[in-house]
Structure 1
Amino acid sequence: MTTHADFLIELGTEELPPKALKSLQDAFAEGLLSRLGDAGLNFGAADRFGAPRRLAVVLKDLELKQPDEAFERRGPAVKAAFDADGNPTKAAEGFARSNGVSVDQLERMETSKGEWLVYRGVEPGRATKDLLPDLVQATLDALPIPKRMRWGASRDEFVRPVQWLVMLLGDDVVPASIYGIEADRFTRGHRFHAPDPIRIKRPTDYADVLKEQGWVLASFDQRRATIAEQAKVAAEAKGVTAVIDDDLLDEVTALNEWPVALVGQFDERFLDVPAEALVSSMQEHQKYFPTMDEQGRLASYFVFIANLESKDPSQVISGNEKVIRPRLADAAFFWDTDRKTPLVERVEKLKSVTFQQKLGSLHDKAGRLKAIAGEIARRLGDDVEVAERAAWLAKADLVTDMVFEFDDMQGIAGYYYALHDGEPDTVARAILEQYKPAGAGDELPTSRAGMAVALADRLDNLAGLFGIGQPPTGTKDPFALRRAALGVLRILVERELDLDLHELVAFAADQHANLPQRETVVDQVVDYALDRFSAWYQDDGFRPDVFQAVRALNPSRPLDIDRRVKAVAGFSAMAQAEALAAANKRVANLLNKAGDNLGTELAKGFKQGGPAWLARQANPSLFVESAETTLWDAIETAEHDVAPMLDKTDYQGALQRLATLRDEVDAYFDQVMVMAEDPAVRANRLAVLARLRQLFLQVADISVLQQ
């Protein structure tokens, strides 16, 4: 008897959103496999397919029936199930009847609370073909579709109108209706090459039949690889190299069922326009792959993907060349027109552009950026005039025709226009780099002025928006403040700029004319940024407690924080770490209660100065045990040794040196009663421990480390 069969599900639709196709394909496949697994159905290999007009999954060796499942139902207690004469009560009879058996067919089960009647049986597994329609529908209903649509008179909703449905289990069609479409075995091929229905005999024939009869490469990955290879070969035939952006490749893959790479060409006169504008026009607007010559310069050829095999490819090429020509002509016109007005004259026009209703215009922002970037350059010992000039001009290209038409040219257009205006290269470079990093993993500014302007822009956004009570909430972050905070941290750490984040935010906040939450904004922004720091370290594989051990000191210099975190991470892997962390925790607990165990005068000083003050009150003349003297000598030697290390921010070396205190610390707690009866001795011992703790707190609070 056959127990397994291959399975095919294909949902045919109107053209699916190209940027969502890959995620829809994967979500459909993973959702269906998960639901089959939850239903107890096993299967072999699984193949997923996604093309402009279809989502499909093929499973090998899917079980045809759920496994039978043994069950046990507990009924009434035996003492309630039978009367004094041993006859079944209504409770017993009702329980038996509900299970379709007689009372004498019930079993008994002994528990700690007495004896109970039970019914044990086996629930037969359902046939897979009966389960599949609901499992498929549930999977489709759960797909990540932000906006669904209805079509015709139907009330059904999906991302695009559904046109056909194939569901085969083995050689048989699964009886099902999805979105009003009855399942059968007929798929559809390419709109033009194969418009007639195509019969699928067996599930595993699916991809081959579509390719051979339907002119459709159903596999997303196969089409993607085919397009990349075809584009490469087509470009090389013209002596150039195709520039294949991964995101664009995914989008083009989602737009074509039967890809054919062709090469077009535009007039070389357009190469006078900044390459970024031409690339933007080709990639964003036309979905073309640009090409580069042997010198790495933009070439006049472009590769495009046709969704068919034309009998006359030259006509297809000519048509695409006609389409791209006016786009490039627009870019050339904007380039020529914009250069007639220097950037510095455009700054005035920023007064008519609102940055944020409560934070003023872009002209206001330009003034703040100039002040903040100049202050950053001053703190770093860099050229203040260059940073201020770049910041003042940074947003001027936002009122150019080029950026109005090609919004991804902001900063880039400003760079070229600044050079044309005769601005120093350092100023132009900073304008170009102001938006870096644009996201996680993106490159950072390389010029000092670029770092200053990039930091200023992000600090202004953070201080301003937090200051008016508009921080990110949930998934809403219209001003990309999460990315801004992470960008600030990356620039400061990776470019090794030892600046105080608290001071930078305070300075940025002071440049705003009116911030309702000025009193709290600095702490809010710093805490928000450091929360991003925590996630950053976890993504890099650091334990959360390692970062918390540093953050417990309330530091605000990101570069210094980074050095401390890496030092603590190294320390936490040492053999001595666990014992010293436990000792520090014990000391911290003792010091938290120290006020109740000190004399009046010491308690008063401790209340005002805390453990750091108490540490300075230790008196070796009050030592009683030899272990006290040993630890004291070890602390003094360690203080002397780590001082030059701390001066050089060699936190790793400092912690490695402090790790050698383990034996003296262990001996101290083994041989010394800290809470001695003599008040003076007790207070002195607490002071020694405070000094020990202050020694470690120069790097981190290792008592936070998990043991």
Structure 2
Amino acid sequence: MPDLLIELFSEEIPARMQARAREDLKRLVTDGLVQAGLTYAGAGAFSTPRRLALTVQGLTAASPTTREERKGPRTDAPEAALEGFLRSTGLTRDQLEARDDKKGQVWFATIERPGRPAAQIVAEVLETTIRNFPWPKSMRWGSGSLRWVRPLHSILCIVSDEAGATVVPLTVDGIASGNITRGHRFMAPDAFTVSGFDDYAAKLRRARVMLDAEERASEIRSQADNLAFARGWRIVPDDALLAEVAGLVEWPVPLMGVIEERFLALPPEVLQTSMKEHQKFFSAQNPATGRIEGFVTVANIQTPDDGATILAGNQRVLAARLSDAAFFWENDLREAQSGMAAWAEGLGAVTFHNKLGSQADRVVRIAALAREIAPLVDADPDQAERAARLAKLDLRSAMVGEFPELQGTMGRYYALEACEPEAVADAARDHYSPLGPSDAVPSAPVSVAVALADKIDTLTGFWAIDEKPTGSKDPFALRRAALGVIRLIVANNLTVPLQSVMSTMVRKSDMLHAESDSEIVGPSPDQYLPDLLSFLHDRLKVFLRDQGIRHDIIDAVLAQEGNDDLVRVAARATALNAMLATEDGRNLTQGLKRAGNILAQAEAQDGVEYSFGADVKFAETDQERALFTALDEAEPAIRRAMAAEDYPAAMTAIAALRAPIDAFFEAVQVNTDHQIVRRNRLNLLSRIREAGRQIADFTRIDG
């Protein structure tokens, strides 16, 4: 079976697009080959800054001949129907066959499609792939019509087997395919021919090109670590930067430099961010001092002076960048030391949302809510309010203006310079967190109070103006805010009644808007707060499902009262999930659901509610009496466990009902003709239902 090798050689492809482009090339070509009738054993895609490559192993030499029978119109059908059928099959009338059918004679077409050589199919698929490649951004050049991410120079496309390699002929916008490629732009620019993937990869390496992006990343990491180790430093891990730099070079040559002493007083986050964003440098930290004292830059060429000239040029550019950062830092420090009043005033000019006011208006709301939340999270109310008033001030600083990703981080430094307590400064840094599912969750009480206030203000505000997420669109990151609220509460095991807290936020927000003679136009709180709580429940379901808890179990717990206490909901769901993973738990659920269904049917039929009066003296069987005894023991045990929020103990208590319930249903007919006995048994089922309801709505559990 032949192997296929494709290379699309161009000007430099942006690093951020390469990983997606590799997968798109593999998907589009292999899908196209399979749809045309070919099969293959395996495929692999590769990228460097100047090329996309694909190898397909074990490709069938040709597509199979296919034969298809297609039923057409009746022989006496209108001529137009027959002509349409002929067009769809590509046949003529004399090639059709009339056959008897249930309703008369019908035309049948036998369509034979001969197999085609793999090379012919590859040429068609590759041309279609190139012309329709889904680049996020593309360009045209010269007088041609082809669009590509950067000007495309050559197409390598060969099929190879034991007999040798053959070029697959195709031409795209004047670019003819061949078996020629080039190596490194500077160190090995000459063209050379290849005969297959192994030959291609080996010759590229000799021509100073590492084809595999993961290999380049591994080489950069290894060499950078070695350079740092030699100085007693360590490289600050940054996987995103590593992947990006691996997409910028074909032959990585890491070089280590030293940051000038005059810049070492800058916060390490400033040094790291400036070097990463502007120059794609890796930061090197001195463990002895905790400071960022060096950097690693990755060149794309080996030079006779071992990179000395490259490093000197990078040092000059870095010094200019860090001089700007030092200027911002010094100016910001002066403002921080003077109390940041100008920044506080400036927030009034920063619009948060045209319907929700400025950042200054928002700070007032967050500060009021942080004070309310503080006692619920064991935080000092004064510190929580103060932290909320300071948390957004760094948005007006020069440093955050230059590096927006440092918001919060710089706020902590400025708060400390203003002689604020460390808890207040930490809250200024932490109140944005958690930003995503893997981000660390703040645990310091003041930080938690401000972080919750910030996110709840965002959610209640946008619900108040009816700007909710729709489908995949979430321009204000409200799903992220909701997940942040959930993670803050659950990770810190906080008993926070969300319904009450959100109502407080709305009430204070309305008061503030009334004082400023502004009004929020939108649905009333009675309309949107239940919907907002439902939205939080939806995000909680996602959060708990990611932890392996079934959706129906989450629904069963959320159907109970007190479902705005997310810690309680999560704990109940976790314990119930664990119980239902056992055979006893699954069987118990069936018994509870059966009791509920029989009871619901009887109540609907009789028009009464069976919820009291079950008496053991009317029991006619040992199984009934045993169930009475089991319920007498289980009910108070469940109540005690639920009151103590000991949900595993509650599950153990209700699981003890499994055997008595099973025995009851095996031995007893509930809807007996004896009405007194029937009512007694239905009231007994009511006790079973109520025992389950203390924990969850078992009717919502599947199976």
> 1:133–1:178: 8 Å Cα contact kept in structure 2?
no
How big is the shift at 1:393? 0.6
Aligned residue in 2 for 1:294: 287
> 2:630–2:656: 8 Å Cα contact kept in structure 1?
no
Aligned residue in 2 for 1:146: 136
How big is the shift at 1:449? 0.8
Paired residue secondary structure (1:183):
strand
How big is the shift at 1:458? 0.9
Residue 235 (1) aligns with residue 243 (2):
no
Aligned residue in 2 for 1:609: none
Letter in 1 for 2:581: A
Aligned residue in 2 for 1:391: 388
Distance 1:502 1:142, change over 3 A: farther
Aligned residue in 2 for 1:283: 276
Looking at structure 2, the residues matched to 689 and 113 of structure 1 have their Cα atoms a distance apart, in angstroms, of: 60
> 2:544–2:570: 8 Å Cα contact kept in structure 1?
no
Residue 481 (1) aligns with residue 478 (2):
yes
Aligned residue in 1 for 2:633: 637
1:165 to 141, 155, 174: 155
Q: For 1:32-51, what aligned pairs fall within 5 Å after superposition?
A: 32-51=29-48
Residue 428 (1) aligns with residue 422 (2):
no
How big is the shift at 1:267? 1.1
Letter in 2 for 1:173: V
How big is the shift at 1:462? 0.8
Distance 1:559 1:140, change over 3 A: farther
- Tell me which moved more, 682-691 or 224-233: 682-691
Distance 1:296 1:142, change over 3 A: farther
> 1:616–1:687: 8 Å Cα contact kept in structure 2?
yes
> 1:107–1:120: 8 Å Cα contact kept in structure 2?
no
> 1:228–1:244: 8 Å Cα contact kept in structure 2?
no
Aligned pairs, number: 677
Aligned residue in 2 for 1:531: 538
How big is the shift at 1:687? 2.9
Distance 1:126 1:20, change over 3 A: same
Residue 209 (1) aligns with residue 203 (2):
yes
Paired residue secondary structure (2:496):
coil
1:359 to 351, 356, 359: 356
Letter in 2 for 1:441: S
Looking at structure 2, the residues matched to 141 and 530 of structure 1 have their Cα atoms a distance apart, in angstroms, of: 46
Q: RMSD of aligned C-alpha atoms?
A: 3.0
Distance 1:366 1:430, change over 3 A: same
TM-superposition CA deviations, 1:187-246 (whole Å, max 9, x none): 233222233333223343212222213x32222112111111121222223332222310
Aligned residue in 1 for 2:125: 135
How big is the shift at 1:316? 0.8
Aligned residue in 1 for 2:328: 334
Looking at structure 2, the residues matched to 690 and 114 of structure 1 have their Cα atoms a distance apart, in angstroms, of: 65
TM-superposition CA deviations, 1:113-153 (whole Å, max 9, x none): 99999777864321111111332244456655333333233
Paired residue secondary structure (2:295):
strand
- Tell me which moved more, 451-460 or 568-577: 568-577
How big is the shift at 1:281? 0.2
How big is the shift at 1:59? 2.2
> 2:179–2:194: 8 Å Cα contact kept in structure 1?
yes
Letter in 2 for 1:521: Y
Aligned residue in 2 for 1:519: 526
Looking at structure 1, the residues matched to 42 and 582 of structure 2 have their Cα atoms a distance apart, in angstroms, of: 45
- Tell me which moved more, 696-705 or 268-277: 696-705
Residue 437 (1) aligns with residue 428 (2):
no
How big is the shift at 1:540? 2.6
> 2:379–2:449: 8 Å Cα contact kept in structure 1?
no
1:666 to 662, 669, 672: 662
- Tell me which moved more, 363-372 or 581-590: 581-590
Letter in 2 for 1:581: T
1:451 to 445, 448, 453: 448
Looking at structure 2, the residues matched to 167 and 447 of structure 1 have their Cα atoms a distance apart, in angstroms, of: 60
1:550 to 548, 553, 557: 557
How big is the shift at 1:388? 1.1
> 2:460–2:505: 8 Å Cα contact kept in structure 1?
yes
> 1:149–1:160: 8 Å Cα contact kept in structure 2?
yes
1:571 to 558, 568, 579: 579
Residue 701 (1) aligns with residue 697 (2):
yes
Paired residue secondary structure (1:446):
coil
Letter in 2 for 1:468: I
Looking at structure 2, the residues matched to 369 and 582 of structure 1 have their Cα atoms a distance apart, in angstroms, of: 48
- Tell me which moved more, 294-303 or 413-422: 294-303
Looking at structure 2, the residues matched to 656 and 142 of structure 1 have their Cα atoms a distance apart, in angstroms, of: 61
Distance 1:564 1:194, change over 3 A: same
Letter in 2 for 1:446: S
How big is the shift at 1:17? 1.8
Aligned residue in 2 for 1:155: 145
- Tell me which moved more, 459-468 or 544-553: 544-553
- Tell me which moved more, 172-181 or 331-340: 172-181
1:261 to 254, 257, 268: 254
Q: For 1:603-622, what aligned pairs fall within 5 Å after superposition?
A: 603=608, 606=609, 614-620=610-616, 622=618
TM-superposition CA deviations, 1:426-477 (whole Å, max 9, x none): 1111111111112121111131111111111111111111111111223322
Letter in 2 for 1:647: A
1:270 to 238, 263, 266: 263
How big is the shift at 1:274? 0.8
Distance 1:115 1:657, change over 3 A: farther
How big is the shift at 1:691? 2.2
TM-score (norm 2): 0.89
Paired residue secondary structure (1:20):
helix
Paired residue secondary structure (2:568):
helix
> 2:458–2:478: 8 Å Cα contact kept in structure 1?
yes
How big is the shift at 1:594? 4.7
- Tell me which moved more, 503-512 or 438-447: 503-512
> 1:200–1:206: 8 Å Cα contact kept in structure 2?
yes
Paired residue secondary structure (1:422):
coil
Distance 1:118 1:479, change over 3 A: closer
Letter in 1 for 2:277: E
Letter in 1 for 2:548: G
> 1:72–1:121: 8 Å Cα contact kept in structure 2?
yes
Paired residue secondary structure (1:62):
coil
Q: For 1:497-508, what aligned pairs fall within 5 Å after superposition?
A: 497-508=494-505
Distance 1:112 1:701, change over 3 A: farther
Gap regions ≥5 residues in structure 2: 77-81, 511-518
- Tell me which moved more, 398-407 or 163-172: 163-172
> 1:169–1:203: 8 Å Cα contact kept in structure 2?
no
Residue 194 (1) aligns with residue 184 (2):
no
Looking at structure 1, the residues matched to 355 and 90 of structure 2 have their Cα atoms a distance apart, in angstroms, of: 70
Looking at structure 2, the residues matched to 700 and 505 of structure 1 have their Cα atoms a distance apart, in angstroms, of: 25
Q: Percent identity?
A: 35
> 1:162–1:179: 8 Å Cα contact kept in structure 2?
no
Residue 315 (1) aligns with residue 309 (2):
yes
Q: For 1:452-471, what aligned pairs fall within 5 Å after superposition?
A: 452-471=449-468
Looking at structure 2, the residues matched to 23 and 263 of structure 1 have their Cα atoms a distance apart, in angstroms, of: 31
Looking at structure 1, the residues matched to 480 and 580 of structure 2 have their Cα atoms a distance apart, in angstroms, of: 30
